[in-house]
Structure 1
Amino acid sequence: MAAPLIAVTADRSLRESAFGPRDSTLQVVEYADAVVSAGGRPAMLPATEVIPTDLLDGFDGLMLTGGGDLSPELYGQEPDEKVYGVSPIRDRFEAALVAEAQQRGLPILAICRGMQLINVLRGGSLLQHIDAHWQTRTSHEVEHDVAIDPSSRLAEIVGASVMGVNSYHHQAVDSIGSGLRVTARAGDVVEAFEDPDANLIAVQWHPEHLFRVSADNHALFDDLVGRARAHKERNTAHV
């Protein structure tokens, strides 16, 4: 049986080119490297203006990646002056992906912006700017620890109630969305949540930068690919 196929979302933004500003797709290759390291097959999904139906046909899992900020209008707020990188096209595209993934029962790993998107789609809100969570060292180094709920699925995945993470976000979860269980915090900042009923794990940090040097962070990708493999096997058995 082929390795599980994981859909990996991509950023969309205006970039300068020889032809002037162009809408462009960009993604950090470490997301794909992490999926491959865990035994999966990654496939990038650029955010398109027109959203195809059945976009996740053939996929076994979904990774919602980092990037620019969500449009604050999605959670009923006016934009703060420090909001950046908003892409309404990406917001709509990924909201449709989440809806389809949940309808299909696909496992989801949501990272940074992806976590914030899930929270907003569940009716939660965000703090539009916080100053203390943008580290000065490289993204491949641990910045601080997070305290994990020992009864959570996250604790089971990493095998610990404390783990080291990096910190590259200027926004954070404020009110928590419906059906989401907070599973990790750093002080009063929500660092992870999950919804076992939706096959969903979400983290605020960037494990794709740490998977090579941190077994705890690698375990998040092992878990995603493992859940995707189980989903694939169940579907194959029913054919």
Structure 2
Amino acid sequence: MPAPLIAVSAERSEQRSAFGPRDSTLQVLNYADAVVSAGGRPAILPATETVPSDLLEGFDGLLLTGGGDLSPEMYGQEPDDSVYGVSVFRDRFETALVAEAQQRGLPILAICRGLQLINVLRGGTLIQNLEGHWQTRPSHEPDHEIAVDAGSRLAEVIGGTVMAVNSYHHQAAATLGQGLRVTARSGEVVEAFEDPENDLIAVQWHPEHLFSTSADNHALFDDLVARASAHKERKLANV
């Protein structure tokens, strides 16, 4: 059986080209490399202005990636001066991705912006600017430890209740969205949540920069690919 196919969301931003500035798909390869390292097949999905129907047909899992901020209008607020990198097209595209993934029962791993998107789509809100959570050391080095809930899927994945993570975010979950369970914190900051009913794990840090140096962070991608493989097998069994 072929390895599971993982849809990877991507940033949409203006980039220089031979034709002048053009909206482009931009994604660091760490996400795809992490999926490959875990035995999956990644496919990057550009955030097109028109969202195709059956966008996730043939996919076995979804990786929601980091990037610029969500439009605060999505959670009923006006943007402050710290908000950057907003793309209404990406917001719309990834909203459709999440809805279809949940309708199809696809496993989801949501990273940084991905966690924030899930929270907002469930009716939660965000802290628009959070000081002291953007590390200055290289991204493959951890910044701090987080406390993981012993009864969580995350604790099962890493085999423990303490995890070393990096930190590259200036926003965080404020009011928690419906159906979500906080599974890790750093002080008062939500570092992870999950929703077993929708096969969802979301983390606020960037494990794709740590997967090659940290077994715990690699395990997140191993788990996504394992969950995607199980989904693929169930789907084939029901054909």
TM bin (shorter chain): over 0.9
CA displacement at 1:210 relative to structure 2: 0.1
Matched residue, 1:127: 127
Partner of 1:21: 21
Instruction: Give the deviation of 1:181 after TM superposition.
Output: 0.1
Aligned to 2:9: 9
Corresponding letter in the other structure for 1:29: L
Could you say what secondary structure the match of 1:137 adopts? coil
SS of the residue corresponding to residue 222 of structure 2 reads helix
Instruction: Quote the Cα distance in structure 2 between the aligned partners of 1:38 and 1:19.
Output: 38
Deviation at 1:131, TM superposition (A): 1.2
Q: 1:106 matched to which residue of 2? A: 106
Question: What is the CA deviation profile of residues 15-38 of structure 1, one whole-angstrom value per residue up to 9, with x for unaligned ones?
Answer: 223322210110010100000010
1:191-210 aligned within 5 A = 191-210=191-210
Structure 1, unaligned runs of 5 or more: none
3-state SS of the aligned residue for 2:163?
A: strand
Residues 25-44 of structure 1 aligned to structure 2 (within 5 Å) = 25-44=25-44
1:74 corresponds to which letter in structure 2? M
Q: Deviations over 1:170-216 (max 9, x none)?
A: 00000000000000000000000000000000000000000000000
Task: State TM-score, norm by structure 2.
Answer: 0.99
Rounded to whole Å, the distance in 2 between the matches of 1:81 and 1:17 is 29
**2:164 paired residue number:** 164
User: What does 1:109-188 correspond to in 2, within 5 Å?
Assistant: 109-188=109-188
The CA distance in 2 between the partners of 1:133 and 1:29, in whole Å, is: 23
Distance (whole Å) between structure 2 residues aligned to residue 74 and residue 98 of structure 1: 15
| Residue of structure 1 in register with 2:90 after alignment | 90
Q: Partners in 2 of 1:20 and 1:170 — Cα distance?
A: 31
2-structure distance, mates of 1:46, 1:101: 16
SS in 1 for 2:8: strand
What's the % identity of the aligned pairs? 76
Q: Secondary structure at the match of 1:31?
A: helix
The match for 1:54 is 54
Match of 1:62, SS state, is: strand
4+ residue segments displaced more than 2 Å: 16-20
Question: Cα deviation per residue 1:12-68 (whole Å; 9 max; x = unaligned)?
Answer: 011223322210110010100000010100000000000000000000000000000
Structure 1 vs Structure 2 CA RMSD: 0.6
The amino acid across from 1:208 in the alignment is: E
Amino acid at match of 1:12: R
- AA aligned to 2:121 is L
| Residue 213 (structure 1) aligned with residue 213 (structure 2) | yes
